[in-house]
């Protein structure tokens, strides 16, 4: 089998990381959905990530970067090729008012590090569940702040495995997009520029934003977070709510009663249930308001 060959050819190169054949991806996604990866690679170092990217490129093997799995829906049939999971590349280092973070670090953890050091500017990220790599790719934001407000530079790999350092301007960060997502780059690390702040003020803001998130979002259920981008002039959640879709869905998937912008895995949903519910929402909102909802989440993999 191909994945066995890939495993055998990579096992002597990936010595600090982990290689897993036919690994269920539901263990690695926030929705708890998804079939298996032909080969899951969890690199232990940036060099091992680079080796994997180059190996896939030179052997024409499809390569998917999963990140923290917070903004991705994996279909029930799983993913053909190699899937990269960066949970071991999670280093965070302070340098004055700069924060250096590896791609697999959670942006929530970076926010916590900043708060402990009385650095302000990244409080908005205290509730974003994704990794630095994913946050960079989609210019993640919440509560009036975005990655583009604080980013200084990022180191990425091209599809061919070449390391490139991109400045803030070169990252071309826009609403839920960047040159990273547009060109299919793989983030290795990022440097954020913050400013000195008042510890009490920072803690108060983080506490307020955390309360808002916990009181308004259905965190008690697995989900992909906000499913849809904000349509110009509207709020996706309000459109869905006013379409009377809360509590409705397919199989074990349901539009959240707590926040209409979330679709939850309420009762052992399949990815098919989740995607059918997404499509139902799009159809009903289009019918009622003539607004085309655009996905913020990414759907990958094959049907069962």
CB 256 within 8 A of CB 274: no
Q: Is 93 helix (H, G, I), strand (E, B) or coil?
A: strand
Q: Of 4, 81, 70, give the one whose Cα is nearest residue 35.
A: 81
Q: What CA–CA distances, in Å, run from 45 to 101, 126, 304? A: 13, 26, 33
Cα dihedral: 181, 182, 184, 186 (round 10): -40
**Helical spans, DSSP H, in 235-299:** 236-242, 271-289
Active site residues: 176, 226, 296
CB 111 within 8 A of CB 126: yes
Q: Is 14 helix (H, G, I), strand (E, B) or coil?
A: coil
- Which residues, at least 6 apart from 118, have a Cβ–Cβ distance to it below 8 Å? 196, 197, 198, 199, 202
| C-alpha to C-alpha distance for 37 and 34, rounded to whole angstroms | 9
The helix-helix angle for 107-116 and 199-216 (nearest 10°) equals 150
Whether residue 227 contacts residue 276, with contact meaning beta carbons closer than 8 Å, is answered with no
Residues 6+ away with beta carbon under 8 Å from 34: 24, 25, 26, 28, 73, 74, 75, 76, 78, 79, 271, 301
């Amino acid at each position: 089998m191909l994945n066995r060959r890939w495993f055998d050819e990579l096992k002597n190169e990936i010595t600090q990381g982990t290689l897993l054949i036919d690994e269920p991806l539901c263990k690695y996604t926030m929705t708890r959905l998804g079939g298996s990866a032909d080969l899951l690679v969890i690199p232990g170092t940036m060099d091992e990530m680079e080796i994997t990217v180059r190996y896939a490129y030179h052997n024409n093997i499809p390569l998917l970067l999963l990140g923290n799995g917070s903004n991705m829906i994996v279909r029930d049939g799983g993913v053909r090729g190699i899937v990269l999971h960066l949970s071991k590349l999670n280093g965070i280092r302070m340098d004055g008012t700069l924060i250096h973070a590896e791609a697999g670090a959670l942006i929530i953890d970076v926010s916590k590090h900043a708060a402990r050091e009385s650095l302000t500017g990244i409080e908005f990220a205290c509730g974003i569940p994704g990794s630095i790599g994913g946050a960079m790719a989609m210019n993640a934001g919440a509560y009036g702040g975005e990655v583009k407000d604080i980013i200084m530079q990022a180191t990425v790999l091209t599809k061919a495995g070449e390391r490139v350092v991109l400045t803030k301007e070169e990252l071309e960060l826009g609403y839920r997009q960047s040159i990273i997502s547009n060109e299919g780059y793989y983030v290795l690390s990022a440097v954020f520029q913050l400013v000195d702040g008042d510890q009490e003020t920072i803690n108060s803001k983080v506490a307020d934003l955390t309360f808002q998130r916990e009181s308004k979002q259905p965190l008690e259920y697995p989900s992909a977070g906000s499913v849809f981008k904000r349509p110009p002039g509207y709020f996706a959640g309000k459109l869905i709510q006013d379409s009377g879709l809360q509590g409705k869905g397919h199989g074990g998937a349901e539009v959240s009663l707590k926040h209409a912008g979330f679709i939850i895995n309420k009762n052992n949903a399949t990815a098919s249930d989740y995607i059918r519910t997404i499509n139902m929402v799009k159809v009903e909102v289009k019918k009622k308001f003539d607004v085309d909802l655009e996905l913020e989440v990414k759907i990958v993999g094959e049907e069962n």
